[in-house]
Chains A and B, each alone.
Chain A
Amino acid sequence: MNQKVEHDDDVANDNHEHPSVEFVYLNTNAEVKFHAKWDEKLSLIWDNAYNELHEIRRPNDLLECQSGDSLMLHLELTLQGLRERKICKARKFQIRSETGGA
């Protein structure tokens, strides 16, 4: 669960064939970093992140950029599509579980 992120700065390397992506699981603050493909959809990469985190998706999970902006309307975009639209350019994502309250 606690695979550490290597801070090698290659996340910004847009020319890499298999760009790295980073995920933080806010329920535990666990981090993972792995390589994806430009033509992979964000939804698939999100699924892969659970495997890397050794976690299961909760029904109330939300995918966000680490800026806090929701990505739930962009799950069908590929990494290439995200890049072209300048969405979450650093490819640093976070998984947040919706809570009850208010």
Chain B
Amino acid sequence: MAKEGETPVPDQTRGAEALREDLPKVLQRRTLEEAGWCQPDLLTLLIPLFAQRDGQTTDFFLLRLYFNCYPIWPPSAQFINPQTLKYVVSVDKKWLPKIEGSPEIAVHDNYSNQGIQLICSSVTLEFYQVGHSVKPEHIWDEKHQNFSATLAAIRHGLTQSFYKGPQEARS
């Protein structure tokens, strides 16, 4: 079980099994194709997300979930460049959403100059890997959460109340 201050330990076999078990629960009656998702390997999901700003402009983002420490810890969550399927600090900032004013989530393009993207929310793996402070009631609970919680938190951050556009202009 996840605990504040502990370092997540990868277990790819367990992660793949847990993803295989949880994927139908999160998809409900849909297939991967119907949901528009892609699973390039046993530990990875690519999920397109759309966010609307100004009531008219819709922006596209690609979220990569990686389940190497799952389900003890939440999945790794990273916004990636849809052309390279990677995130490179200082190059791919335009593929990150700007989320402002939410007490629950933010997206840092280069967290504390450590060279990593951080979707700062207690339902992402990176949140624990950087040793972010966390209230007890927010700690990941594998018995009552699966990666649906991660998606719900990110989608909530992309609602019009908080979403302010890509972090850098797209040409």
* Residue B88, interface by CB 8 Å: no
User: At the interface with chain A, which of B10-18, B36-44, B60-68, B120-128?
Assistant: B120-128
Instruction: Given A99-B153, A100-B104, verify A26-B148 contact (CB < 8 Å).
Output: yes
Query: Which residue of chain B is the closest to A102 with respect to CB atoms?
Result: B106
Looking at A35-43, A54-62, A78-86, the stretch in contact with chain B turns out to be: A54-62
A101-B127 Cα distance, complex, nearest whole Å: 8
Are the C-beta atoms of A99 and B148 separated by less than 8 Å?
A: no
Interface size on A, residues (CB 8 A): 21
Given A59-B137, A60-B138, A68-B159, A97-B121 contact (CB < 8 Å): no
Q: Identify which of B122, B146, B159 contacts A99 (C-beta below 8 A).
A: B122
B145 within 8 A of A: yes
Give the contacting residue for A102; candidates B26, B104, B152; CB below 8 A.
B104
B interface residues, how many (CB within 8 angstroms): 29
**CB pair A29 B148 closer than 8 Å:** yes
Q: B156 contacts the other chain (Cβ, under 8 Å)? A: yes
Chain B residue at minimal CB-CB distance from A58: B137
Taking a contact as CB atoms under 8 Å apart, the answer to whether B138 and A99 are in contact is yes
Residues of B that sit less than 8 Å from A by CB: 25-26, 28-29, 102-106, 119-123, 127, 132, 134-135, 137-138, 144-146, 148-149, 152-153, 156, 159
Residues of A that sit less than 8 Å from B by CB: 2, 4, 26-31, 55-56, 58-60, 68, 96-102
